[in-house]
């Protein structure tokens, strides 16, 4: 394994869209921002379509409809105090990176949202991947304080990548 992300392609459009590149860039940016060596962590990202993500959303969240991104952390890492950064996982090794969990991302919903929000597909997908990866590291948006922390962290990581604030003007 050469990167922080293991990619599973269920919808070929993701191959053409460069999901591997976007996921690797996003995961490395998150890990680096949090002060970690990206090579010591591992996440799985599955690129799928709306039908598959609706099935997953129904199975795991009782919401049988498409969404943009879902995440399944390998462990509960959230802070017990609202607005406090989560306790981040211990790193693995180069030979055995620490598993963070899994992410599924839906091509159809991402493409539609990017068009509706007048954003590039790559910028929107990068934001959603960063959002999902932060969930794997224990960030959440259940209450306002947690949401503020998570969104501020997303903004900082996106800015370092030269991507505009996805929450501005909306």
Which pLDDT score, from 0 to 100, does residue 81 have?
A: 87
Fold assignment, 5-160: Collagenase (Catalytic Domain) (3.40.390)
Each residue of 8-49: pLDDT tens digit? Answer: 999 999 999 999 999 999 999 999 999 999 999 999 999 999
Can you give the pTM of this predicted structure?
Answer: 0.95
Angle at 87 between CA 53 and CA 72, to 5 degrees: 15
Copy the structure tokens of residue 112: 């539609």
Q: Is 127 annotated to bind ligand?
A: no
Each residue of 97-143: pLDDT tens digit? Answer: 999 999 999 999 999 999 999 999 999 999 999 999 999 999 999 89
Decide which of 55 and 79 is more confident: 55
Interhelix angle for 121-136 vs 19-33, to 10°?
50
Q: Is 131 annotated to bind ligand?
A: yes
Which pLDDT score, from 0 to 100, does residue 169 have?
A: 67
Q: What is the DSSP letter of 10?
A: S
Nearest to 115 by CA among 124, 106, 128: 124
Q: Name the 3-class secondary structure at 113.
A: helix
Interhelix angle for 144-160 vs 121-136, to 10°?
130
Q: Is 124 annotated to bind ligand?
A: no
Q: How far apart are CA 70 and CA 72, in angstroms?
A: 7
């Amino acid at each position: 394994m050469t990167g922080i992300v293991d990619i599973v392609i269920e919808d070929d459009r993701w191959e053409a869209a460069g999901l591997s590149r976007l996921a690797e860039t996003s995961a490395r940016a998150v890990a680096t921002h949090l002060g970690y060596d990206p090579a010591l962590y591992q996440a799985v990202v599955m690129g799928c379509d709306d039908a598959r993500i609706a099935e997953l959303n129904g199975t795991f969240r009782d919401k049988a409809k498409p969404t943009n991104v879902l995440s399944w952390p390998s462990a509960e890492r959230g802070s017990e105090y609202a607005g406090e950064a989560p306790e981040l996982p211990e790193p693995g090794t180069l030979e055995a990176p620490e598993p963070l969990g899994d992410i599924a991302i839906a091509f159809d919903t991402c493409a539609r949202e990017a068009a509706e929000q007048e954003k590039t597909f790559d910028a929107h997908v990068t934001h959603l991947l960063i959002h999902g990866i932060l969930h794997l590291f224990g960030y959440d948006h259940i209450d306002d304080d947690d949401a503020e922390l998570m969104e501020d962290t997303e903004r900082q990581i996106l800015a370092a990548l030269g991507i505009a604030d996805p929450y501005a003007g909306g």
